[in-house]
Amino acid sequence: MVIGLRKQLLEDISIEEIVGSTLLVIIIIAVFLGTMTRYVLGRPLFGTEEISTVLFVWVVILGAVSAFRRDLHIGIDFIVNLLPQKIKVSVEIFGKLLLALVFLSLIYFGIFFATTGTMKYTSIFRISYFYIYISIPLMGAILFIVNLKNIYSTIKNLKQ
């Protein structure tokens, strides 16, 4: 029983959840150390704010991807649920196609935005903003792929 549950949990965890959780732990440690050194020792630890801010951007992006993959984003489907099944599925597919366009625009404009960050650096560690901004097109690409899989699954289930 426990082995089966552990195996199921491991199968359900995606790479973005592992990376996001790891980054969140690093953020918690950085903020804790920064707070303790500031108020206990009277001297803040160098760079903890910047580390936590940069990593927080990635945690949010990875969390959005994880929530989308698991279909946990908020949706207003009250009216759609009142429709007949065939129309409901058509509306669902149409919505997913619109999302695909949004994700493609995230990729396109995100790449443009990321390239503007190549000459801008964070103040303490001099990290290029490119590494922060590149999260936008990367998120768009992952969401686009997940969305295509969802569209395929919806169509496949329709045929059955």
Q: Which uninterrupted H or E stretch holds 46?
A: none
Q: List pLDDT tens digits, range 94-115.
A: 999 999 999 999 999 999 999 9
Q: Is the pLDDT of residue 121 over 70?
A: yes
pLDDT of residue 17: 92
Of 56, 41, 69, 61, residue with least CA distance to 110: 61
- Tokens describing residue 26: 């690093």
Locus of tokens 């303490």: 124
What percentage of the chain exceeds 90 in pLDDT?
A: 66
Mean pLDDT of the chain: 89
Q: List pLDDT tens digits, range 1-45.
A: 556 655 655 567 888 999 999 999 999 999 999 999 999 998 888
